[in-house]
Amino acid sequence: MPHSAAKTVHVVNHEYADLSIERDILARAGYRVEEAFGDTAETLLESIRDSVGIVCIYAQLNEALVSQLTACRAISRPGVGYDMIDVAACRRHGIEVSYLPSYGDGEVATHGAAMALAMHQKLLDHYRQTTAGVWDFKRVPPVKSLKVSTLGVIGLGRIGQAFLERMRPFVGEILVFDPVKTTLDLGPAVRLATLEEIYASADIISLHCPLTAQTRHMLDAAAFARMHNNPLIINVSRGGLIDTPALIEALENGQLRGAALDVLEDEPTMARGLMRDDVLLTPHTAWRSRESEAEIRTRSSEELVRMLAGEPPLNRAP
C-alpha cells in the first residue's frame, strides 16, 4: 500500500539495534514506522509533527510540543515511568497515552538483590584490592552478618515483593512499608513497619515506589538524618525518589555506608559526588534481558495499534 505521512508512526529517541519488532507489528496494521531523534522539543518536532502515533522512549513530550502535533492520536510509552509525557496535555489535544506498569519484574528484583548483596559483602572493595595485587582480606573490614541484619523494603508492589522474596533467605528480619497495604502475610520474620521504624533499625533500605509528587525526594536530608544504622541504600525504581545532593552529603558525613543505584535523578547525567568507592552505579539496566526487551517492544507496539484503531489501551496512563 502507498505510504503517506498520515500513516506514519515514529519511535522516538530509541537505543535499539533496529526497529524490526515495531515494523513487523505496525506494518501489519498498515502503518509505516520511522525513527526520530532530537535533544530538544524543537528539533524533535521537525520529524514528528505529522506522525499519527508515537512510541516514546526517551523524550520530553510537553504541552508546547504536543500542541503542535497535527495528526497524532496516540502515544505509547514502553516503560513504567511516564513522567516525561504531559499526559493531561495529550488528552486535551485528543491524544491517548498508554504505558507498561509491569514488565521485567523479576529482572529488576534480581538486579536489586545482586546490588544489595555485592555492596553488603564489600565485593567491590575486595576486587579493587586483589586487582591491585594485594591478596589480604584484612585490608577490608569485616561485614555484619546478613543473618542478624535488618532489611527495609519501601513499597511492596510486584517488584518490591519479588525483591523481598530474593532477599528473604539471607537476612534476619524484613520490615516493609507500603502506604496502601495495611495487612501483610508473608511468613515469619517479615512485618509491616512505619518509615520511622525502617529508618531507625534497617541495615539495608531498598526503594520500590513509583515517582509521584508525594514520593519525590522521599529520601532527603531529613530522612537520612533519621537513619541510625548507617544503612546501605538501594534504588532500582526511579531516580527522583532520592534527593541527590542530600545523598552525597549523607555519604560524605558517614550517615550511610553506601548506595547502589540503577536510576539517577537527572540521568544520564551522573553527579560527580556519586563517583565514590562506596557507590555502585549501573545505567538503568535492571529491567533488561533479551526476553524483557522483546516483551516491552512488542506490547508497546500492540498498544499503539490498539489505540490507533480507536480502542482503549490495556494500560491507560493515569
Active-site annotation, residues: 238, 267, 284
Helix and strand tally (H, E) in the chain? 11, 12
Length of the chain: 318
Rounded CA separation 4/255 (Å): 59
Rounded CA separation 192/47 (Å): 50
Rounded CA separation 195/231 (Å): 14
Q: What phi, psi does 177 have (nearest 5°)?
A: -120, 130
Type of residue numbered 104 = G
Judged on CB neighbours under 10 Å (0-12, 13-18, 19+), 250 is: buried
Q: What phi, psi does 65 have (nearest 5°)?
A: -80, -50
Please report which helix (H) or strand (E) contains residue 299, including its range.
helix 290-308
Contact 237, 207 (CB under 8 A): yes
Contact 233, 208 (CB under 8 A): no
* Per-residue exposure over 147-175, b if at least 16 CB sit within 10 Å of its own CB, e if not: eebbbbbbbbbebbbbbbbbbbebbebbb
Check residue 242 and report its DSSP letter: B
Count of C-beta atoms within a 10 Å radius of residue 63? 14
The three three-digit cell numbers of residue 67, written as one number: 500542541
The three three-digit cell numbers of residue 16, written as one number: 535499539
Contact 285, 263 (CB under 8 A): no
